Chains A and B, each alone.
Chain A
Amino acid sequence: DADVTQTPRNRITKTGKRIMLECSQTKGHDRMYWYRQDPGLGLRLIYYSFDVKDINKGEISDGYSVSRQAQAKFSLSLESAIPNQTALYFCATTDSSSYNEQFFGPGTRLTVL
């Protein structure tokens, strides 16, 4: 887990606020992913990126945006937070040669009031 870090680990914000979650990795992987976890729903993919110029929407991208500042950094933004975006957010990385085994960060617990 130390190879993939997320900041902040916990955040409480208010409806309508813009918030950014950050992810950094030292594994040298090219592919990075943002997921959200909700009880009973497993993990759902928000966005993913193959490199700094290749960003793709996942299954639940509405209300979110991302930025791949460098190969090692991938940020998730909530443009105008709403309460149903309260969830646990995970960043993950992999490379094209690892048969898709993904390595996860410790997660960010976000609460939108």
Chain B
Amino acid sequence: AQSVAQPEDQVNVAEGNPLTVKCTYSVSGNPYLFWYVQYPNRGLQFLLKYITGDNLVKGSYGFEAEFNKSQTSFHLKKPSALVSDSALYFCAVRDYGTGNTGKLIFGQGTTLQVKP
């Protein structure tokens, strides 16, 4: 079965420190992986995606993610956290189960709390 797991419900980090939000996946084909961010009272905003190519993907707001095929992981990272990065983060993977439907499977979300 295809799935996405975000093992941490919440990540706490001090402003200025590096942050990592973890994601692991299980898919039947080549993984198309995504990170989205949800600010309070807002919809999900796209941060970045991995389709193919370089394992380090750069995205919006200074975020990047590292694709690791052997560990089936796609962790979100940022070198220096900002208080404004505090939000709910979702990892997602393309669903191969029914062909090219555009469906995504989402993880349960990780709340990032950046403290001043």
Give the B-binding residues of A (Cβ under 8 A). 1, 4, 31, 33, 40-45, 48, 50, 56, 58, 90, 92, 94, 96, 99-107
Known contacts A31-B102, A104-B44; decide if A99 and B51 are in contact (CB<8 Å): yes
Per the bound structure, the CA–CA distance linking A106 and B38 in Å amounts to 10
User: How many cross-chain pairs have Cβ atoms below 8 Å apart between A and B?
Assistant: 62
Chain B contact residue count (CB 8 A cutoff): 23
B68 smallest CB distance to A (angstroms) = 20
Of B34, B101, B106, most buried by chain A (CB within 10 Å of CB) is B101
A-B contact pairs, 21 of them (CB 8 A): A1-B42, A4-B43, A40-B9, A42-B90, A42-B106, A42-B109, A43-B90, A43-B106, A48-B101, A58-B103, A90-B43, A96-B102, A99-B51, A100-B32, A100-B34, A100-B102, A102-B44, A104-B36, A104-B43, A106-B41, A106-B43
CB distance from A99 to the nearest CB of B (A): 5
A105 contact set on B, CB distance < 8 A: 43
Do B107 and A42 touch across chains, with their CB atoms under 8 A apart? Answer: yes
Q: Interface digits, B77-116 against A, CB 8 Å rule (1 contact, 0 not)?
A: 0000000000000100010000011111011110000000
For A39, give the chain B residue with the smallest CB separation. Answer: B109
- A101–B45 CB distance below 8 A: no
Contact of A1 with B43 in the complex, beta carbons under 8 Å: yes
User: B52 to nearest A CB, angstroms?
Assistant: 9
Distance A58 CA – B46 CA, assembled complex (angstroms): 22
- Answer yes or no: B49 CB below 8 A from chain A CBs: yes
- Least CB distance, A98 to chain B, in whole angstroms: 8
Once bound together, how far apart are the Cα atoms of A90 and B106, in whole Å?
13
